[in-house]
Chains A and B, each alone.
Chain A
Amino acid sequence: MVTAEATIRTVPKSESGIWSWITTVDHKRIGLMYGVTAIFFFLVGGLEALLLRIQLARPENDFVSAETFNQLYTMHGTTMIFLVGMPIAVAFFNYLMPLQIGARDVAFPRLNALSYWIYLFGAIFMNASFLFNAAPNGGWFGYVPLSSDYSPGPNMDFWVIGLQVLGVSSIMGGVNFITTILNMRAPGMKLMRLPPFTWMTMVTSFLVITALPVFAVALFMVTFDRFFGTRFFDPMAGGDAELYQHLFWVFGHPEVYILILPGFGIISEVIPTFSRKPLFGYSLVIYSGILIALVGWGVWAHHMFAVGMGPIADSFFAITSLIVAIPTGVKIFNWLATMWGGTIEFKMPMLWAIAFLLFFTFGGVSGIHLGVAPADLQETDTYYVVAHFHYVLLGGLVMAIFAGIYYWFPKITGKFLSEKIGRWHFWFYVIGMNMTFFPMHIAGLLGMPRRIFTYSADLNLETINMIITIGGFLTGIGALIFAYNLIKSLKGPATAGPNPWGASALEWATQSPPPAHNFNNIPVVTSREPLWDDEAAMLEQANGEIKKPIHMPNSSYWPIFTAFAIVLSSALLMTGQWWAPLIGFGLIALGILNWTHEPA
């Protein structure tokens, strides 16, 4: 026992090699794998967008067929939401949240690995549809009957099964993050001392575990319609297509906040650091985030004003939707107030954060227009809507993600991303993004419908579409410059110390990159900005001599095995034989059995 004690006191070694990544349960490695996979799919989804833009650059173009166009926009939306937006946030949650709360790992490390592998295999499964020339083609929200009777091929089978599987991964992640934040905080890390990013991780995770199950039910119903002959949404059988829309948006609107709240969390970290001031109105920013999530549950039908729900329902959902603007506005003003009177440093993360404030607000304002039911009736299903949500996502979420990557890159790698290349990335992206999406407002108001593969030359939409396409390519160049910056900076020297930006939160107390066990000794927290109050003491606790034995979870290959079995059993449903998934069930059972029998 004495010898065991002695070995356990030494710093756990980080292993290397591909097998160590396959079997890893380290939250930092899993976070990195999430991040790399999400960036890969970001490029895939971006490529799909550019193909769409080439087709729309000229009227009556025949670059792609109508059917291919349907597949491309469906997969563009599905990819960007489910394979990029959610997982890139999960990458940040995974890597940073345990560091921010002073933990050594998440609550369920193997479950965390399982989430990642299901995400990867699910994403591969869904994109494998391209090999069969049968990519999903019913739109990213899969409205019936576009996702059922009108798409008899295997296309939407890939979609319903793939998303069901990805949902399982997300829910597991949500459970894991909530448990970690509530249960594994360092001594003294009270809830109201949590860094705002960790707070938003928790709020987002609550939305994930509550919204995804509703989507699961909608997906199951479409799956049963497609495979087992039910007619859930067929009016001839008494069914109602509107029910699908309600179920979808009951999930879909919280999903919007699932995408943006992590961005809010990142911005709330970056702005105080580069303004050298604590976050103004911390409690109000946190409560506003919670309020957005709560109210976000009661606004879903603003996506359905054109359905004809009647004036009372329309009014209700218009009012609740506009109410969301209040806590959002509170946050914007708190960020501005944080900058006010601060010593602002215009490093890349801060530039992105400021751009975020501008363009996210812009997207929010067109959202207010769309929330007003009578105006929405004119704008719905036109490029105005496309312009709105791309401003929120590319002007909001993606800018926050860029801010986050530039901000935490030194923590993750010990190296800085190039500020010089970063500025090229910034300006190409900002100009390109605005050039793409600002004219879309006008195209939409002029009546250009979304999801139409071509348009007549008589409509005078030619110039505007050409401008949009050129803007799209500029944005794409920006993304490539970013990729170049990542690769080039990785080859640079490791010059970042533990706290290169002089930030306040706990992740900056440990080394860059952090050791496998994160902290030599778990720091004791006495305030909201521990490193600003006593940086030397925090660094000493985090990096000083190890005083207590460190027990790290063992690596395991059962997560990847079980994930494969889960995706396989779901994919076997495609054979059309009801018993085929049972083969996969057997493998899942085998995985779980071994999982429970290995020492964690």
Chain B
Amino acid sequence: MNHTAVAATHEETSTGLSNFKLGFWTFIGSETLFFGALISVYMVYQGRSVTGPYPSNVFDIELTTLSTFVLLMSSLAMVLALAMVQKGSRKGSLFWLLATAVMGMIFLGFQAYEFTHFVHNGLKLDTNLFGSTFYLLTGFHGAHVTVGVLWLLALWVQALRGQLGQGDALRVEVAGLYWHFVDIVWIIIFTFVYLLD
């Protein structure tokens, strides 16, 4: 394990970027098209529902602004977590990794609350086009956040066991890439779905 870890950090590549990082960037490129298509579908169908409830009936912009703020702050926490791992601070790594994951969970909590609230107001997945496109888009985003939270928690457990030293910063960096990406996607969703309605 140790041997491969050392080998991995010293691998020589043509671009100088590690395979893991370059591969992950490529994957993120693929993901942009996935969310791009989902957001486009939402935009194309905007205002075309033939029955209510409509966005104005259910959206609570203040609440979603708050959850958006939490997710944005989690990106800051992610940056600090990476800095702590790079510095070799075990305490700092543990704190900020957990902070990032917890903020992600708070965001998911808000989303769960929002979904329940919408269903109470009569907006289900199959109620109208708005419901279908909204749940499809935000649902897939929520699933991505969930994966991110699990990833962060896995890193946190490793840090707890002392398996996340300075040499493992790359793994945290790539998790960070994912986390920031999911965060940016949310900013776009928030703008197009909630603010520009």
Residues of chain A at the chain B interface (Cβ within 8 Å): 107-108, 171, 174-176, 178-179, 182-185, 189, 209-214, 216-218, 220-221, 224, 228-232, 236-240, 243, 247, 250, 551, 596, 599-600
Contact with A along B85-107 (1 / 0, CB 8 A): 00000000000000000000000
B129 engages A232 (CB within 8 Å): yes
Q: Which residue of chain B is the closest to A230 with respect to CB atoms?
A: B132
A-B contact pairs, 7 of them (CB 8 A): A174-B30, A175-B26, A213-B37, A214-B33, A217-B41, A232-B45, A237-B49
A217 engages B17 (CB within 8 Å): no
What is the CB-to-nearest-CB distance from B192 to chain A, in angstroms, rounded to a whole number? 16
**Within 8 Å CB of A240, what residues of B?**
44-45, 48
A183 engages B14 (CB within 8 Å): yes
**Residue B27, interface by CB 8 Å:** yes
Contact with A along B131-175 (1 / 0, CB 8 A): 011001000100000000000001000000000000000000000
* Total residues of chain B contacting the partner, CB 8 A: 37
**Within 8 Å CB of A247, what residues of B?**
37, 41
**Within 8 Å CB of B34, what residues of A?**
213-214, 216-217
What is the CB-to-nearest-CB distance from B77 to chain A, in angstroms, rounded to a whole number? 23
By secondary structure, the A interface counts as: helix
B136 engages A182 (CB within 8 Å): no
Contact of B132 among A217, A224, A599 (CB under 8 A): A224
**Residue B13, interface by CB 8 Å:** yes
**Within 8 Å CB of B128, what residues of A?**
237-238
A231 engages B41 (CB within 8 Å): no
Q: Kindly state the separation between the CA atoms of A243 and B129 in the bound complex, as whole angstroms.
A: 13
Contact of B26 among A209, A228, A230, A236 (CB under 8 A): A209
Known: A174-B26, A179-B23, A221-B136. 19 other contacts (CB 8 A): A108-B23, A178-B26, A179-B26, A183-B14, A185-B14, A209-B26, A209-B29, A210-B29, A211-B33, A213-B33, A216-B37, A221-B41, A228-B126, A231-B132, A238-B49, A240-B45, A243-B44, A599-B3, A599-B4
**Within 8 Å CB of B125, what residues of A?**
224, 228-230
By secondary structure, the B interface counts as: helix
A-B pairs, 8 with minimum CB distance: A213-B34, A229-B126, A217-B37, A238-B48, A209-B30, A179-B23, A230-B132, A183-B13
**Within 8 Å CB of B30, what residues of A?**
171, 174-175, 209-210, 212-213
Q: Kindly state the separation between the CA atoms of A247 and B44 in the bound complex, as whole angstroms.
A: 12
Q: Chain B CB within 10 Å — which of A108, A179, A185, A214 has the most?
A: A179
**Known contacts A209-B30, A229-B126, A239-B129: does B37 contact A214 (CB below 8 Å)?**
yes
B17 engages A183 (CB within 8 Å): yes
Q: Which residue of chain A is the closest to B34 with respect to CB atoms?
A: A213
Q: Which residue of chain A is the closest to B129 with respect to CB atoms?
A: A238
**Residue B22, interface by CB 8 Å:** yes
**Residue B19, interface by CB 8 Å:** yes
**Within 8 Å CB of B140, what residues of A?**
220
**Within 8 Å CB of B1, what residues of A?**
599
**Within 8 Å CB of A232, what residues of B?**
41, 45, 129, 132-133
Among B1-28, those with CB < 8 Å from A are: 1, 3-4, 7-8, 13-15, 17, 19, 22-23, 26-27
B13 engages A217 (CB within 8 Å): no
Q: Kindly state the separation between the CA atoms of A229 and B31 in the bound complex, as whole angstroms.
A: 26
**Known contacts A231-B129, A237-B129: does B14 contact A182 (CB below 8 Å)?**
yes
B33 engages A183 (CB within 8 Å): no
A179 engages B22 (CB within 8 Å): yes
What is the CB-to-nearest-CB distance from A268 to chain B, in angstroms, rounded to a whole number? 22
Contact of B23 among A176, A218, A236 (CB under 8 A): A176
What is the CB-to-nearest-CB distance from A94 to chain B, in angstroms, rounded to a whole number? 16
Q: Kindly state the separation between the CA atoms of A214 and B129 in the bound complex, as whole angstroms.
A: 19
**Within 8 Å CB of B17, what residues of A?**
183
**Residue B50, interface by CB 8 Å:** yes
B126 engages A230 (CB within 8 Å): yes
What is the CB-to-nearest-CB distance from B120 to chain A, in angstroms, rounded to a whole number? 19
Contact of A184 among B14, B49, B129 (CB under 8 A): B14
**Within 8 Å CB of B3, what residues of A?**
599
**Residue B123, interface by CB 8 Å:** no
**Residue B38, interface by CB 8 Å:** yes
**Within 8 Å CB of B27, what residues of A?**
171, 175, 209
Q: Kindly state the separation between the CA atoms of A198 and B48 in the bound complex, as whole angstroms.
A: 46
Q: Kindly state the separation between the CA atoms of A209 and B31 in the bound complex, as whole angstroms.
A: 9
A183 engages B7 (CB within 8 Å): no
What is the CB-to-nearest-CB distance from A220 to chain B, in angstroms, rounded to a whole number? 7
What is the CB-to-nearest-CB distance from A60 to chain B, in angstroms, rounded to a whole number? 43
Among B30-89, those with CB < 8 Å from A are: 30-31, 33-34, 36-38, 41, 44-45, 48-50
**Within 8 Å CB of B37, what residues of A?**
213-214, 216-218, 247, 250
B19 engages A224 (CB within 8 Å): no
B26 engages A220 (CB within 8 Å): no
What is the CB-to-nearest-CB distance from A86 to chain B, in angstroms, rounded to a whole number? 16
Contact of B19 among A183, A231, A237, A551 (CB under 8 A): A183
Q: Kindly state the separation between the CA atoms of A217 and B29 in the bound complex, as whole angstroms.
A: 15
**Within 8 Å CB of B26, what residues of A?**
174-175, 178-179, 209
Q: Which residue of chain B is the closest to A1 with respect to CB atoms?
A: B3
Q: Which residue of chain A is the closest to B2 with respect to CB atoms?
A: A599
Q: Kindly state the separation between the CA atoms of A232 and B41 in the bound complex, as whole angstroms.
A: 10
B126 engages A231 (CB within 8 Å): yes
B13 engages A184 (CB within 8 Å): yes
Q: Kindly state the separation between the CA atoms of A107 and B29 in the bound complex, as whole angstroms.
A: 17
**Within 8 Å CB of A209, what residues of B?**
26-27, 29-30, 33
Q: Kindly state the separation between the CA atoms of A154 and B38 in the bound complex, as whole angstroms.
A: 26
**Within 8 Å CB of A221, what residues of B?**
41, 136
What is the CB-to-nearest-CB distance from B136 to chain A, in angstroms, rounded to a whole number? 7
What is the CB-to-nearest-CB distance from A236 to chain B, in angstroms, rounded to a whole number? 8
